[in-house]
Amino acid sequence: MGWGLVRGGTRLPRAVRLLVVARAVNRLGAFSLSFLTVLITTRFGAGAAVAGCVSAAFGVATIPSRLAGGRLADRIGRRRTIVLGLTGCAVAQLGLAAADSLATAACWAVLLGLVFEIYEPPSQGLIADVVAPGEQVRAHGLLNAALAAAGMGAGLLAAGVGRWDLRLLFVVDAFTCLLCALAVRLFLPADRRVAAAATDQASSVAPWRDAALLRMLAAGTLLAVIYLQIMIMLPLTLDHGGLRPSDAGLLFTTSAVTITAGQPLMRWRRLAALSAPAAFTAGHLLLALGLAGYGFAHGLLAYLTSTVVWSAGDLLLVGRAYTIVASLAPAGGKGRYLAVYGTSWGIAGVAAPLAGTQLLEHAGPAGLWSAMALACLLLAALQPALLRATALPRTHHERRPAAAELSDGSTR
């Protein structure tokens, strides 16, 4: 049986469905980073600024991690790279859980950053390889829905386990990383040997010289800063307002429920027919409204309502940027292009904790979340123009076929 696209849009390729299941297993424990700053402040007695610096160091380390993941994905294959990255994450998570000093915890946080993003470019590259461009938003939507469904259990698990000991969150995260790595190794199609000609072609890819990609990277970095504020600053915001930081797990679960329940709505003709500029604009406006609600929330119910609103915006945004970036890449270069775009999360990982902790300390929750809402409004205004510029004719590389095939007979 081939691993190519099932025609007619009725069913996604088996490789994508298996990847979705494996990543969902990993997502069940992928909540620990949201509590890294809280762990630093509560276990080691550090201030918010120190915790922000540790998170920023983690963010710096994810930049070479993402680039290495893209290069490895194009050279040694998607499956090997995913397994390598997940195994490294598990080791580093266990190191953080066992750390007995602030310096040791900071070192493990940096090491975690160096492996944390390795599996992302091959995961996204696999979808781009086997799914036609017209189906890629749907494929990313399926992945996001599965991660959100798993996130329901993750949020509840975080809320429960976090009340005992925050270090246990990192242990559970490590365990699910290993489970995901095992599932990928056993069930995803084997990597094919890369021909010398393909290796030479991949080596000639120059994503940092592609103006269209760099424009996408700029917008993606701002959006990543916004998302990371939710991950990193929401527990601290709750603590600032007299609520339990672990209640962030309930909010993440609410987001997951919203995203999962909203997936069928995305099949409605009007929503499915939205152009990319319209979807980006509407999504960013909903994000702005929800995050503005965080700034003036007093009580858990208000936080829950705001979470539902911004999560509805996330539904409209997921997967669209990665589909556009994959379409920009030359043959043999999707992993590198997706990796360069993915460095937006590393850059944001540096900026978000530094800016977020300073905003929270000097402007309070209202100032922090109002600033994020304004950033969303900026993206809503600029994204259509950016997409029009990205769609201009491109002559610097040869276009690759709409979807590639992965074969059962790949060499192991």
- Lowest model confidence (mean pLDDT) among 5-9, 162-166, 341-345: 5-9
Question: Two tokens at 406?
Answer: 């992965």
Asked if 298 contacts 375 with a C-beta cutoff of 8 angstroms, the reply is no
pLDDT attached to residue 392 = 52
pLDDT attached to residue 375 = 95
Q: What is the CATH number of the domain that holds 139?
A: 1.20.1250.20
Which stretch of DSSP H or E encloses residue 171?
helix 167-187
Answer whether residue 330 shows pLDDT above 70. Answer: yes
The answer to whether residue 401 sits within a structural domain is no
At CA 131, angle to CA 324 and CA 83, rounded to 5? 95
CA 402 to each of CA 5, 217, 365: distance values in angstroms, whole numbers, following the listed order: 10, 23, 46
User: Which tens digits make up the pLDDT trace of 175-223?
Assistant: 888 988 888 888 877 776 554 444 445 555 678 888 888 988 999 999 9
Q: Which of left, alpha, beta for 182 (phi over 0: left; psi -120 to 50: alpha)? A: alpha
The answer to whether residue 29 sits within a structural domain is yes
User: Which tens digits make up the pLDDT trace of 385-398?
Assistant: 877 776 654 444 44
**Residue 408 burial class via C-beta count within 10 angstroms: exposed 0-12, middle 13-18, buried 19 and up:** exposed
Domain that holds residue 109: 13-189+208-390
State the maximum Cα–Cα separation within the chain, in Å, rounded to a whole number: 61
How many domains, the chain? 1
The answer to whether residue 325 sits within a structural domain is yes
Answer whether residue 313 shows pLDDT above 50. Answer: yes
CA dihedral (23, 24, 28, 30) positive or negative: positive
The answer to whether residue 3 sits within a structural domain is no
- Lowest model confidence (mean pLDDT) among 56-70, 83-97, 265-279, 389-403: 389-403
Answer whether residue 173 shows pLDDT above 90. Answer: no
pLDDT attached to residue 223 = 93
pLDDT attached to residue 125 = 79
Cα separation, 334 vs 205, in Å, equals 9
- At 377, the amino acid letter reads L
The answer to whether residue 150 sits within a structural domain is yes
Region 28-54 average pLDDT: 75
pLDDT attached to residue 308 = 94
Phi (first) and psi of residue 193, to 5 degrees: -65, 140
Task: List CB contacts of 200: < 8 A, sequence separation 6 or more.
Answer: none
The answer to whether residue 197 sits within a structural domain is no
The answer to whether residue 406 sits within a structural domain is no
The answer to whether residue 326 sits within a structural domain is yes
> How distant is the alpha carbon of residue 184 from its chain centre?
18
pLDDT attached to residue 351 = 84
User: Which tens digits make up the pLDDT trace of 123-138?
Assistant: 877 887 777 776 777 7
- Lowest model confidence (mean pLDDT) among 54-68, 79-93, 296-310: 54-68
pLDDT attached to residue 30 = 61
Number of H helices, E strands in the chain: 16, 0
pLDDT attached to residue 175 = 86
Q: Rounded to two decimals, what is the model's pTM?
A: 0.68
